[in-house]
Structure 1
């Protein structure tokens, strides 16, 4: 049996808020195999997005151990985590997080340039073409629809060829047609680059395409890991 691409052992997450310390995740343990597609589902406030942030090192666990590609994320500082994400992870958010003063091409090329890629703009152009935006490369985010902006975000996340692709409600701000297109693009990116895909979703049709589904409730894994519906 091969080592998991990502492993979480007895992870807890608590954050300080205005009303005091809030416990968000409780004793989470799971493993994700290389090339697997894992869906995280559950009601709002159940901890899905927080768990995804732990997986990406965007939140630090209060206790427990999180390893990705054999590296202990819980032992890294912020700079080390940023470099690890740059080299090994792609992250897609519900709200796109594009740089408004950059064109689509520049948005996608930026992480490649930061990683020292000599062909950053050529690769960015190829990735935008792959998501159907060859005619929008010179447009700025405010000149594009929500669906087009999410395609740019997908291209930016996948251009560095990440081994792990994390997506937080990638269809949450889109209508049904654009949402369906983004779902297809996500799985196409996974297939083309061989990435492990972990996603948070409320969309049943997206969860149904995952290899496994984990349901969370009140910061805990609510049920045994379930096989997604066929």
Structure 2
């Protein structure tokens, strides 16, 4: 399908730990279309975050196929995956992952600079203004509230104008008011830039705002898990 930006075919993920090999994902097949907002929901330990990481090439699938914008992530090495993410994907984590020694402006400008954008700081400033932090560009993460730090992280992910935005519990560390603000900003990205958004969330309110909700249970898509019972 021409409008499919993410396509997973029979994807599995098994990881070795202290108790031996653990099967995290079990035969996931899923397509995500251009400009779609998709929520991944399910109980803790069901594989939601692992699925998101596989979609972004941050975790290598044990078997199956993962296509992003028609590119097979499984055949790329770490450098190629990093370049692909830099140009096509934005990732927002629950724990922000801001660089503490950099200001908000520098944090947002960094991926643009890495991509060779000569207007990195101008674009970073404009993105911070979009998320309501125009007056906080010179502040370091420790000088910002949790909600402000997540806004910086969102601005950093959105600044390169990625076709695909992946968000792992983007409102999980925030109170209701800040969570609602981040929710609105995330949905605004699709409207402003046409980004495809896939997010892991425990928030029913946030999931309800998405075009589609996919539930995972024990490493399987819910309908497959139910059929197996």
What TM-score, normalized by structure 2, do the two folds share?
Answer: 0.96
Separation in 2, partners of 1:222, 1:72: 25
Separation in 2, partners of 1:191, 1:109: 22
Find the counterpart in structure 2 of residue 182 from structure 1. Answer: 182
Residue pair 1:98, 1:141 contacting (<8 A) in 2 also: yes
**Helix, strand or coil at the partner of 1:100:** coil
Find the counterpart in structure 1 of residue 142 from structure 2. Answer: 142
Separation in 2, partners of 1:17, 1:97: 25
Q: Counterparts of 1:41-52 in structure 2 under 5 Å?
A: 41-52=41-52
State the Cα distance separating 1:2 from its structure 2 match: 2.6
Q: How large is the Cα RMSD of the aligned pairs? A: 0.8
Find the counterpart in structure 2 of residue 218 from structure 1. Answer: 218
State the Cα distance separating 1:222 from its structure 2 match: 0.9
* Correspondence 1:119 to 2:114: no
Q: Counterparts of 1:67-216 in structure 2 under 5 Å?
A: 67-216=67-216
State the Cα distance separating 1:96 from its structure 2 match: 0.1
Find the counterpart in structure 2 of residue 228 from structure 1. Answer: none
Unaligned runs of 5+ in 1: 225-230
Q: CA offsets, 1:147-189, max 9 Å, x none?
A: 0000000000000000000000000000000000000010112
Separation in 1, partners of 2:21, 2:120: 43
Find the counterpart in structure 2 of residue 24 from structure 1. Answer: 24
Q: CA offsets, 1:57-113, max 9 Å, x none?
A: 000000000000010001111111000000000000000000000000000000000
Moved runs in structure 1, 4+ residues, more than 3 A?
none
Unaligned runs of 5+ in 2: 225-229
Separation in 2, partners of 1:118, 1:92: 24
**Helix, strand or coil at the partner of 1:135:** helix
Residue pair 1:214, 1:223 contacting (<8 A) in 2 also: no
Separation in 1, partners of 2:52, 2:151: 20
State the Cα distance separating 1:223 from its structure 2 match: 2.5
**Helix, strand or coil at the partner of 2:205:** helix
Separation in 1, partners of 2:160, 2:18: 38
State the Cα distance separating 1:3 from its structure 2 match: 4.0
State the Cα distance separating 1:133 from its structure 2 match: 0.0
State the Cα distance separating 1:190 from its structure 2 match: 1.8
**Helix, strand or coil at the partner of 1:16:** strand
**Helix, strand or coil at the partner of 2:83:** helix
* Correspondence 1:65 to 2:65: yes
